[in-house]
């Protein structure tokens, strides 16, 4: 498997970790090739590191240079040259990463089948052409577009994403819909309420409106801040606190300026990236969790919040809004509708019984539908289909 940077706690990281560990549990040999995530100051490790984590061999490749999320790791080239003969199938998670590109080139050269899982990045480019820089356009023409074109299968996370691929010319028989799941063991025994509030200096009576994710302009968090300002000023909701949890992805300074301009400095808490323990504590202590990216085809955060027994609010018309509506564990709102979002917050903050009821429905629904052990069965079926005709691969995948 070749994700971009699975040593960083983000959505793709969680997917890669859970998929590979579930495969390893079933006896499959799995290797992950990723960067060691060179930081913004140019600091990386001195050499490639190899670790075995829960049965999965992970190569953290030495980073020599980074431009935004494009991280150059030349050591993947001799590794793939040496190791690729052991692979029956390759799972690429990013067509615009150095690691994904070279995994593709070696796969084509050695005639090894691969599946490509864009995690929404491809469909986002289709729906918003302004997201494509000159560098992305050039990269797509040179190689990234060929990764999509020559993949044995493209994994879409939802029917909505699959339809976007069809409209872009991807043949229907090349698209497979496999949703993401979450590690339900992490949510089986939830911590007691109050631990997160105490650790981060909040009052036990504060009602948390939670955002959890990267601080990036596309995430819809400017809408969240404006709706929170509307809630506290025009609707006089004084006990609500907005918690913004997650690492900066180029938007933090602008977001802080917006918070300051709205006079919210003392009412908005920026935590930075949270540990897994603190993340679940934040879910448990929040009144409602907001996930407002209008472009992402899927999202783990609403599922994690629901697994923690808390209601969510998402953008209407997205695949996640369909899931939330099916499970009846939250609300949908129009993109950029500040007043409507503020009214949703007010409704849930003033009706604890409703929040509890929605939280219970969400937890039951997620535990029934989004267990990785269930989803991995479908993914293995897909691998077997792609590897059909390769007797060596078929025998391994029958495990």
Q: pLDDT tens, 320-331?
A: 998 999 999 999
Residue 302 has pLDDT above 90, yes or no: yes
State residue 154's pLDDT score. Answer: 96
State residue 124's pLDDT score. Answer: 46
CA-wise closest residue to 209 among 246, 252, 253, 245: 245
Residue 132 has pLDDT above 80, yes or no: no
CA-wise closest residue to 168 among 123, 118, 101: 123
State mean pLDDT over 128-140: 65
Residue 198 has pLDDT above 50, yes or no: yes
State residue 11's pLDDT score. Answer: 72
Q: N- to C-terminal Cα distance for the chain?
A: 19
Residue 222 has pLDDT above 70, yes or no: yes
Q: Provide DSSP, 30-82.
A: -EEEEE----TTS---SS-EEEEETTEEEEEEPP-EEETTEEE-TTHHHHHHH
11-181+371-397 matches 184-369 in fold: yes
> 345: pLDDT confidence band, cut at 50, 70 and 90?
very high
Model-level pTM? 0.79
Residue 144 has pLDDT above 70, yes or no: yes
In b/e form, how buried is each residue of 1-39, taking b as 16+ CB within 10 angstroms? bbbbbbeeebbbbbbbbbbbbbbbeeebebbbbbbbbbe
> 123: pLDDT confidence band, cut at 50, 70 and 90?
low
State mean pLDDT over 325-345: 96
State mean pLDDT over 296-314: 93
Of 298 and 370, the one with more pLDDT:
370
State residue 39's pLDDT score. Answer: 43
State mean pLDDT over 137-154: 86
Q: Is 222 helix (H, G, I), strand (E, B) or coil?
A: helix
Of 182 and 243, the one with more pLDDT:
243
C-alpha dist (Å) from residue 202 to 149, 213, 363: 51, 20, 26
Report which secondary-structure segment, H or E, holds 276: helix 276-285
Phi (first) and psi of residue 76, to 5 degrees? -70, -25
Of 47 and 152, the one with more pLDDT:
152
Please, are residues 6 and 16 in contact by the beta-carbon 8 Å criterion? yes
State residue 58's pLDDT score. Answer: 95
- CA–CA distance, 12 with 6 (Å, rounded to integer): 7
Length of the chain: 399
State residue 263's pLDDT score. Answer: 96
Residue 390 has pLDDT above 70, yes or no: no
For the domain covering 184-369, report its CATH number.
3.40.50.2000
> 199: pLDDT confidence band, cut at 50, 70 and 90?
very high
Measure CA 168 to chain center. 23
CA-wise closest residue to 94 among 169, 22, 8, 28: 8
The neighbour count for residue 91, using CB atoms within 10 Å, is 25
Q: Is 202 helix (H, G, I), strand (E, B) or coil?
A: coil
State mean pLDDT over 279-298: 93
- pLDDT over 70, % of the chain: 89
Segments making up each domain of the chain, as ranges = 11-181+371-397, 184-369
State residue 8's pLDDT score. Answer: 43
> 296: pLDDT confidence band, cut at 50, 70 and 90?
confident
**How do residues 42-64 score in pLDDT, each as one tens digit?**
455 557 899 999 999 999 999 88
Of 140 and 18, the one with more pLDDT:
18
Beta bridge mates, 56:
53
State residue 96's pLDDT score. Answer: 87
Lowest mean pLDDT among 62-66, 276-280, 313-317, 320-324: 62-66
Q: Tell me the CATH architecture of domain 11-181+371-397.
A: 3-Layer(aba) Sandwich (3.40)
Phi (first) and psi of residue 264, to 5 degrees? -110, 10
Please, are residues 165 and 122 in contact by the beta-carbon 8 Å criterion? yes
């Amino acid at each position: 498997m070749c994700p971009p940077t699975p040593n960083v706690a983000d959505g793709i990281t969680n997917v890669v970790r859970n998929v590979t560990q579930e495969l390893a549990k079933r006896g499959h040999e799995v290797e992950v090739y990723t960067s060691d995530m060179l930081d913004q100051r140019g600091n990386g490790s001195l050499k490639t590191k190899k670790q075995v984590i829960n049965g999965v061999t992970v190569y953290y490749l030495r980073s020599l240079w980074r431009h935004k999320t494009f991280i150059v790791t030349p050591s993947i080239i001799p590794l793939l040259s040496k190791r690729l003969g052991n692979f029956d199938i390759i799972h690429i998670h990013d067509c615009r990463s150095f690691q994904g590109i070279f995994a593709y080139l070696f796969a084509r050269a050695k005639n090894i089948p691969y599946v490509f899982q864009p995690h929404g990045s491809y469909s986002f480019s289709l729906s918003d052409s302004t997201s494509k820089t000159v560098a992305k356009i050039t990269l797509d023409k040179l190689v990234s577009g060929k990764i999509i074109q020559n993949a044995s299968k493209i994994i879409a996370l939802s029917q909505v994403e699959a339809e976007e691929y069809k409209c872009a010319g991807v043949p229907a028989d090349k698209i497979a819909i496999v949703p993401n799941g979450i590690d339900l063991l992490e949510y089986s025994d939830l911590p007691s309420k109050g631990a997160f509030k105490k650790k981060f200096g909040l009052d036990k009576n504060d009602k948390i409106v939670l955002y959890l994710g990267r601080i990036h302009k596309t995430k819809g968090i400017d809408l969240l801040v404006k709706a929170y300002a509307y809630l506290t000023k025009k609707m006089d909701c004084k006990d609500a606190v907005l918690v913004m949890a997650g690492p900066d992805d180029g938007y933090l300074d602008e977001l802080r300026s917006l918070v300051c301009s709205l006079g919210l400095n003392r009412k908005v808490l920026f935590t930075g990236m949270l540990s897994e323990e603190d993340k679940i504590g934040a879910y448990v202590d929040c009144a409602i969790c907001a996930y407002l990216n209008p472009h992402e085809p899927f999202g783990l955060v609403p599922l994690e919040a629901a697994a923690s027994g808390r209601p969510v609010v998402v953008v209407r018309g997205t695949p996640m809004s369909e899931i939330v509506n099916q499970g009846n564990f939250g609300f949908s709102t129009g993109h950029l509708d500040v007043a409507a979002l503020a009214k949703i917050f007010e409704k849930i903050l003033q009706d604890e019984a409703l929040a509890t009821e929605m939280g219970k429905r969400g937890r039951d629904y997620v535990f029934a539908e989004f267990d990785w052990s269930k989803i991995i069965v479908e993914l293995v079926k897909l691998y077997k289909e792609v590897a059909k005709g390769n007797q060596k691969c078929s025998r391994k995948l029958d495990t």
